[in-house]
A and B are shown apart, each in its own frame.
Chain A
Amino acid sequence: MRSFGYLTKEGLKNVWSNRIMSIASVCVLISCLVLTGAASLFSINVEAVVESVGQTNETSVYIKNEYSQLEAVYIGKEIEKVDNVASATFFPKEDAMEKFKVQLDDDQLFAEMQDRNKLPDAFIVVMDDLSKYDQTVADIMKIEGVDKVSSHSELAKKLTDISNLVGAISLGVTLALTIVSIFIIANTIRATMYSRRYEISIMKSVGATNSFVRWPFLIEGMVIGFVSAVVSTGAIAILYEVIMMAIQKAVPITVIPITDLIWFVAGIFAVAGVIIGFFGSLISIRKYLKIEGNEILGW
């Protein structure tokens, strides 16, 4: 530990003296972190939207036209008994027509359609747990007099599907970019080790331990990882603001403010960057620690 300061300083010097390769490594790692971060933040927001859609979820259960309103009320009692149904509010066909009139905004057309009044009586059903949606709908459909069920949760389902897809793609992209980053960093460290092979051979000849030889290069890798994490955090904060403002203008949804997420993102980036840098370095160093004497110099 007495040499910790000296070795850390050597590691930092490595980053600077090998700056072109260091910058290349930082750039690749930034793309990896930003892409991963963007995918994760998108998923987090989609989940938040899904949750809010779920909270306001209302499913319409339509009653067959041949049933009277009195019979429909009894059917409503049966619907309320179904497991996972929180409430079932009666929505008579007259109210549906009124709502339709407002939506149609054409009195003449509405008058023609009112004569035919084909709209059914319905119940607005709210469920306790949306994940049991399919089973609950199946149970409701078994009740005699129920014609069909339509729901607003289709949007929630679609959003969840998109979120899952984004999650799967981002996982694949992250994995690929992580491997690429590790190898780019490994090459950077290999270049440093090549340029410092004299020093390594001298260190080994005078009896430096492997950990002494290893430490500056591990520091170099971890510094590259950490710098990438800091730049990536800034980049993703700016990107998030720009993209989310554009989305909010186009769609009336509430996104999570970046201030709620940035420290979490920064922490994850820092840990990931340092770990990737560490392992990238370790891969390169292993070779040099195994060889001896002139082999280190490539003679």
Chain B
Amino acid sequence: MIDFKNVSKTYPNGTHALHDVSLSIDKGEFVFIVGASGAGKSTFLKLIMHEETPTSGEIIINGTNTSNLKRSKVPYLRRHMGIVFQDFRLIEKMTVFDNVAFAMRAVGKPYSVIKKRVPYVLELVGLKDKMKCKPSELSGGEQQRVSLARALVNNPEIIIADEPTGNVDPEMSHEIIELLSEINAKGTTVIVVTHEHDLVREFSRRVVLIDHGRIKSDIGNNDNNEYSAEEYSVVPDYPENAVVIPD
């Protein structure tokens, strides 16, 4: 589903964000991307979303080489993806319903479809009864679930969550990852970038560790999806202020 072949990314200011990264994520996988601040995680996501293009190498998503994708085709690539942001990025003046509906309107869905689909997705994330609330009336965890509903509403094949638990309490963090696991169980590929290594160890999933722009380890990437506790013990705890390579 997602193939990185010898991908490197150097920014115009000379920062080398990724070095010769090769990685394959299959359809239906759940992958944690971990690493210190500035390790290259965000660049990795930006390359998937085509917010950035690689300096060298190839990125293939759903069989399409996106490295030289025309700008006019980018929106259609992104319709295969749902993005969850650390800061939720909800529109304050809109209700929960409208925030989620906004993603459907942006891709030209008619209101007759929107009014059926949005309540359904909000029910999936447990917020059907808060449809008329404004984001400011919700807790951090609830806001993140609205953000998740918005990512899900267009029925994407891939969910990309950039630090989805960064602004919520530990209990809610667990719930968010649980919710992502449920979504994954229905066949959606899920990629989660996170700093929270305790959470990563708690969920037995594939873990890709990026360090200094390189893949340092790719744990649990085996065929039978069975990972040992020992394997997860190698996921390091980075100090809060660790900066390797800024991106």
B106/A203 in contact, CB under 8 A:
yes
Contact (Cβ within 8 A) B78 A205:
yes
Give A213's nearest chain B residue, CB to CB: B106
Interface core residue of A205, A208, A210, A292 (most chain B CB under 10 Å): A205
Residue of A nearest to B106 (CB): A208
* CA A212 to CA B106, docked complex, whole Å: 7
Interface string of A1-36 (1 = CB under 8 A from B): 011001000000000000000000000000000000
Query: Is B216 among interface residues, defined by CB-CB distance under 8 A?
Result: no
**Known: A207-B79, A209-B75. Contact between A293 and B46, CB under 8 A?**
yes
Interface: B120 (CB within 8 A): no
Measured between alpha carbons, how far is A198 from B150 in the docked complex, in Å?
14
Cβ A206 vs Cβ B89 within 8 A? no
Does B107 contact A206, Cβ atoms closer than 8 Å? Answer: yes
The answer to whether the Cβ of A163 comes within 8 Å of any Cβ in the partner chain is no
User: A202 in the interface, Cβ–Cβ < 8 Å?
Assistant: yes
Which residues A60-106 have CB closer than 8 A to chain B? none
Residue contact B91 to A205, C-beta cutoff 8 Å: no
Fill in one digit per residue for B43-57: 1 if any A CB lies within 8 Å of its CB, else 0: 000100101100000
Q: How far does the Cβ of B75 sit from chain A's closest Cβ, in whole Å? A: 4
| A interface: dominant SS | helix
Could you tell me the distance in whole angstroms from the C-beta of B20 to the nearest C-beta in chain A?
24
Is the Cβ of A2 less than 8 Å from the Cβ of B108?
yes
| Complex interface: chain A residues within 8 A of B81 (CB) | 207
Q: Are B49's CB and A207's CB within 8 A? A: no
Q: Roughly how many angstroms separate A202 CA and B110 CA in the complex, as a whole number?
A: 18
Residues of chain B contacted by A208 (CB below 8 angstroms):
75, 106-107
A199, A212, A293: the one contacting B91 at CB < 8 Å is A199
Question: Complex: how many Å from CA A147 to CA B89?
Answer: 91
Q: Tell whether, in the assembled complex, residue A207 and residue B46 are in contact, meaning their CB atoms are under 8 Å apart.
A: no
When distances are taken between beta carbons in the complex, the residues of chain A under 8 Å from B51 are: 292-293
Which residues does chain A contribute within 8 Å of B82, judged by CB atoms?
Answer: 206
A206–B99 CA distance with the chains assembled, in angstroms: 12
Minimal beta-carbon separation of B159 from chain A (angstroms)? 12
Q: Judge if B154 is at the interface, Cβ distance under 8 Å.
A: yes
Closest chain A residue, CB of each to CB of B77: A207
Known A-B contacts A292-B51, A293-B46; A206 and B103 likewise in contact (beta carbons under 8 Å): yes
Q: Chain A contacts of B46 at CB under 8 A?
A: 292-293
B binding-site residues for A, Cβ under 8 Å: 46, 49, 51-52, 71-72, 75-79, 81-83, 89, 91, 102-103, 105-108, 110, 150, 154
User: Which A positions have Cβ atoms within 8 angstroms of B?
Assistant: 2-3, 6, 198-199, 201-210, 212, 292-293
